[in-house]
Amino acid sequence: MRNVVVVGSQWGDEGKGKIVDWLSDQADVVVRFQGGHNAGHTLVINGKVFKLRLLPSGIVREGKISILGNGVVIDPWALLDEIKDIKKQGINVTPENFMISESASLILPFHREMDEIREDAAGKEKIGTTRRGIGPCYEDKVGRRAIRVMDLRSESNLDKRLENVLLHHNAIRKGLKKKIFKKKELKEELLALAPKILKFAQPVWLKLDEFKKKRKKILFEGAQGILLDVDHGTYPFVTSSNTVPAMAATGSGCGPNTINYVLGITKAYTTRVGSGPFPTELTDEIGETLGRRGKEFGTVTARKRRCGWFDGVLVRQTIKISGITGIALTKLDVLDELEEIKMCIGYELDGKKLDYLPATSEDQFNIKPIYQTFPGWKSSTQGIRNIEELPEKAKKYIHALEDFIGCKVSSISTSPEREDTILIEDPFKA
């Protein structure tokens, strides 16, 4: 038995959907352990496209168990809509193949509104949030006033919990001259959807312990990327949860010894959605070419992604922070047309050279990348499934990337199609 954690090693959007789909075919159980419905995965199976926001990728495969762990924040309305949509595509979602941790916190309407209020008021200091209430819900969780899945089981308990959370939110809303939320109306809405949510609720930590004893293969599926981690990312331009692999244990209720392999999904260039520092960003024709060829638009938001050269310094840093075992290099084929390709191998700040990302956002905005330049291969790598068939210049770029970040490349993706992957090391068998 081997259990694998899949995380993004950059700012998210590294192509986790395809890799997770490939791994979920081997796994018995797929677990989401953090985030909410702000990060999407696009899966293409037998020509059919599935766009998932909250449901784990295993849900589209028969015989797999999909789980939302306690580290996930759940918008119950959005979840039920997603279940409804995926059922229209022929996917059955039942308590036998889908479970929700009874300890997971719920995103409520005032969380979504608070997200919008803050983002609109931020002006130039906008974080770039997806306005889905993720951050405000995590705040309530840490503030010990969140409504959790288990609270839907008891009307009297729900009443007390709503009293507590609305005392906080309505005080803020009064100060902002926004409408006050009425407990009675919100309670009625929650009690109406409670049976639809509670039928999936389980003590997930206990179920995972059972699966481990039965030697089931467990795949832990991360959302966003490590550079958006609330502790280790480009703070404050980050998400509201820990996106590092260690969160797989905390966010699902199993020990770190459950994790056997950490796979870091890594794009052959760099992208970022929303605001925040981006040392290698390209606002020229090359940046436009990367965006066009890579179809760089968000799965959930459809927002255009910012594009730039591969930042080896950042990826090397996330590998050290996260304990990544191997990387899955994605979208190599997007670089096929370029005359030359650059890789960031250091930074310059106030005349000094740095080999890591400084912690303050002021410094992160001011650093200048130091590049190593490689000749482009100017030939198609699309669909190649054997590393020996890659152009020599492409192989040299990959080997240089591997050497610089200090981590092996375990697979290379050469198109969005699941089969177009060069497999060097299988995480479940390594």
Catalytic residues: 13, 41
Q: What angle in degrees, to the nearest 10, is found between the helix axes of 76-88 and 183-198?
A: 40
Helices (H) then strands (E): counts for the chain: 12, 20
Compute, in degrees rounded to 10, the torsion defined by CA atoms 169, 174, 177, 178: 40
Gap between the Cα atoms of 186 and 151, Å rounded = 13
226: burial class by Cβ within 10 Å (0-12, 13-18, 19+)? buried
Q: Is the dihedral of CA 151, 155, 157, 162 positive or negative?
A: positive
Per the structure block, which two tokens stand in for 232? 């280790």
Per-residue 3-state assignment (H helix, E strand, C coil) for 59-115: HHCCCCEEEECCCEEECHHHHHHHHHHHHHCCCCCCCCCEEEECCCEECCHHHHHHH
Measured CA to CA in angstroms, residue 224 lies from 41, 249, 287, 392, 400 at distances of 10, 17, 21, 32, 26
Q: What angle in degrees, to the nearest 10, is found between the helix axes of 183-198 and 155-175?
A: 130
Amino acid letter, residue 339: E
Gap between the Cα atoms of 34 and 248, Å rounded = 8
Q: Are strands 310-311 and 41-45 parallel, antiparallel or unpaired?
A: unpaired
Task: Return all residues near 247 (Cβ < 8 A) that are at least 6 apart.
Answer: 33, 34, 71, 222, 241
- Please provide residue 361's backbone torsions phi and psi, each rounded to the nearest 5 degrees: -65, -30
- The residue whose two tokens read 């291969």 is 377
302: burial class by Cβ within 10 Å (0-12, 13-18, 19+)? exposed
Q: What angle in degrees, to the nearest 10, is found between the helix axes of 392-405 and 312-322?
A: 50
Q: Three-class SS of residue 34?
A: coil
